[in-house]
Structure 1
Amino acid sequence: MTEQSFDEILAMSCEDRYEIFLSMVADERDLWILVNDNNEFLKIHSDDLDNEFLPVWPHADFTTPYCNGNEETLKPKSITVPEFFAKWVPGLERDGLDIVVFPNGDDDVWIMSPSEVKDDLQEAFSNFEF
């Protein structure tokens, strides 16, 4: 990934970043979250919505703004798609956490339920040419 394409992708609307997310995850077969030194995953709290969300990215490189702008030490962690489907989606739904897909540091974010992300990823896989 070139620096120009990285910056261009980050500058896209949340809807366009969502489409990039689906495409990249279908291609790479994993998605990325951030964890601290205790292996606890980052949750973003929204005062406006009075809720917490799990941010996910299509590539570790896109997590850098969050790693650098946080008080605690964070590092990217890969989650395979099968693990996401089998463990994370049910766990997030049980805990009432939605997903912020591919945040870029501004207020323009795409929020979805875990099952909606799973359904869209499954559709992306069915449209993906191997």
Structure 2
Amino acid sequence: MAVEQNELDRIAGLDAEQRFDYLIGRVVETGELWILTDEHGSVMLNTDDEDCVPVWPDLAFAEQWATGEWSECEAMSITLKQWNHRWTPGLEDDGFAVVVFPLPDGGEDEDGLVVWPEELDMMLTREVKRSRKK
């Protein structure tokens, strides 16, 4: 189910922590999250302290990032199962963090929260269990 433009605008106005919460709920709902890839693999961002893989809750948000120097990138979905079993251990082994739901030019809160893959995995797993109890 695609996200409507007015919903995209509303979500883009959320702060980094609210976007993190949105991503958790949306990934549990859809069963997938999104990254950007290029000919070298997953796109990486560098924060002051960490090398990070950016993730988004929907194709539309990932594609918003794929402009300018990132215009050659393509959005790729990763199922929750793939994230749990392949991506989390792989990122942990490589020492990479995850930047959750950065915005292309949204102001001071555009960067998104930086978390360790295991932390994101734990939050997703907890929300999956909570949603099954409903």
What's the TM-score once normalised by structure 1's chain length?
A: 0.90
RMSD: 1.5
Aligned residues between the structures: 127
Amino acid at match of 1:42: V
What's the TM-score once normalised by structure 2's chain length?
A: 0.88
1:128 partnered with 2:127? no
Identity in percent: 27
Structure 2: distance between partners of 1:71 and 1:35: 9
The match for 1:112 is: 115
Runs of 4+ more than 6 Å apart: none
Q: Which runs of 5+ in 1 are unaligned?
A: none
The match for 2:45 is: 44
Deviation at 1:64, TM superposition (A): 2.2
1:1-130 equivalences under 5 Å are 1-36=3-38, 38=39, 40-46=41-47, 48-49=48-49, 51-71=50-70, 73-105=72-104, 106=106, 107-108=108-109, 109-129=112-132
Deviation at 1:39, TM superposition (A): 5.6
Q: Which runs of 5+ in 2 are unaligned?
A: none
Structure 2: distance between partners of 1:71 and 1:58: 18
Deviations 1:78-116 (A, max 9, x none): 101111111100110011000001111345321110000
